[in-house]
Amino acid sequence: MFILPFIHEVVPQPTFQVNVIKILTIGGQTLWEEENKLHIDKDILNPNDIYRKSTPIKFDKQLQLCEVDVTKTNIMDFYKWKELDFTDNETFCWRTIVHLANGNEGWLNIPDSEKIGNYKVKDIVAKIMEKK
């Protein structure tokens, strides 16, 4: 299974809202993969000092989106994508995505070519925003 921890903040503005979504990736490009038989909290997230805020969102049969509890998880213990070398494909890091929206209408849409693993970033962002 693939696990995608995320943080979603909404910053309302007078005419639109700013969605700041941070996703925990490997090297900014790859999803975290673990064996299906492992327990998502007990065996994977909590031993890595990551704590969920709510029930995982099943994106599909393989990918689970896990909202991170920022009061229990020390986000500063992890790298940010911009701190890594471009060729780094091993380090866990937070990748920030900013999505501007006016209701259901997106501004500056995320291109179809932008992917994390085999998943389109715009589809991941849409699924996260759908839960809010």
Locate the domains of the chain by residue range. 2-131
DSSP run (H or E) holding 8: strand 2-12
**What's the confidence (pLDDT) of residue 132?**
62
Is the whole-model pTM more than 0.75?
Answer: yes
**What's the confidence (pLDDT) of residue 68?**
97
**Distance in angstroms (rounded) separating the CA atoms of residues 63 and 61:** 6
Half-sphere CA count of 126, side-chain side, radius 13 A = 13
Angle (CA) 44 98 53, round 5°: 35
Beta bridge pairs of residue 21: 8, 97
Q: Report residues of the chain scoring pLDDT below 50.
A: none
> How far is residue 15 CA from its own chain's centroid?
26
